[in-house]
Amino acid sequence: MILGWINRYRLRPQPMKLPAAVKAMSSLGVFRDLDASGVYIGFMAGVIGANPDKADRLVASMFPMPPEDQVAVVRAIAYSGLPGWKAMLGRFAERMPARAVLIDRLVQGKLPTLEKLPIDKSPAALDTLWGYYFANGRKEPVNRIIDALEWATESNNVDKLTAGSMAKWTLANNALQNKDLLDHLKAEKSRRPKAIAAQLGEVIEAAETYETSQIRKRALAAIEDLKRKGPESARNMSYWGMAGQTALALGCVVAGAMGHVEIAVPCVIGGAASSAAIKLLTPQ
């Protein structure tokens, strides 16, 4: 399945197999829910960005693709980080006439690229950053996730508190399975402001002791406490539900990368698992 391929790709990169994986994602309807497909779009962008000499061939081989799924291709190109991504979008614009408005807004700077995606506005942004990192190991997306730790103790805005909490939890969960990532977090701790360094210290401790569940429990308690403080809190329940999908999508990629196909396959195929994850993460 798709995540099994991601696992093999990480161990032995084979970028020219990306188009086949993308077509498989399309056939499974992965791209139809953009809030839940960020990790896959980020992965596509990361592979394209790491292979500038093959980028045009990679994208060309993804076609034909249903117009509704072409959004993923457009965003993957824009998020790739390639210096010539705008020109690249122009070269493929004729194949995606239904996406003309999206392409124009990205090229004109009216929509953000990966380095400017607002993590506190959409949980899909967090997924996308992780997907990019999984594809090529570059640390820039991780550093943006680390930046979000400044919101982990937010006391006035539930969206930011949720984003900071999800950043903290996902950093810990991935660091406990990835020594390179853990080493990077340790190095960043000495370079960060005191408040973020303190959060990183807790992330590192949780990863090294396999106690990441405590981060989730404390985060849920803080979010519930802040939600009780004001009338604006009601609108944030849907965000936490979306954050549940974010955690699930990320967990699925990690499971696939670690070879746990029995976990990864249901994550790719069905939506029932998303509902289960939301129930797990949402306070009763």
Is 82 within 8 Å of 100 (Cβ atoms)?
no
Is the model's pLDDT at 274 over the cut of 50? no
Is the model's pLDDT at 269 over the cut of 60? no
What pLDDT score does 260 carry?
Answer: 39
CA distance 244 to 223: 14
- Range of 3-7, 84-88, 251-255 with top mean pLDDT: 84-88
CA-based nearest residue to 147, from 201, 192, 187: 192
Provide the percentage of residues in the chain whose pLDDT is more than 70: 76
Question: What are the DSSP calls for 134-184, one per residue?
Answer: HHH--SHHHHHHHHGGGGTT-SS-HHHHHHHHHHHHHHHHHHTT-HHHHHH
CA distance 143 to 121: 18
CA distance 273 to 220: 20
- Bigger pLDDT: 198 or 255? 198
Q: Averaged over 2-8, what is the pLDDT?
A: 55
What pLDDT score does 247 carry?
Answer: 44
What pLDDT score does 184 carry?
Answer: 97
Is the model's pLDDT at 243 over the cut of 80? no
What pLDDT score does 65 carry?
Answer: 94
Q: Averaged over 144-168, what is the pLDDT?
A: 89
| pLDDT tens-place string over residues 8-31 | 565 566 788 889 888 888 888 888
Which is it for the CA torsion 244, 249, 250, 254, positive or negative? positive
Is 42 within 8 Å of 127 (Cβ atoms)?
yes
Give me the chain's average pLDDT, please.
Answer: 79
CA distance 272 to 66: 25
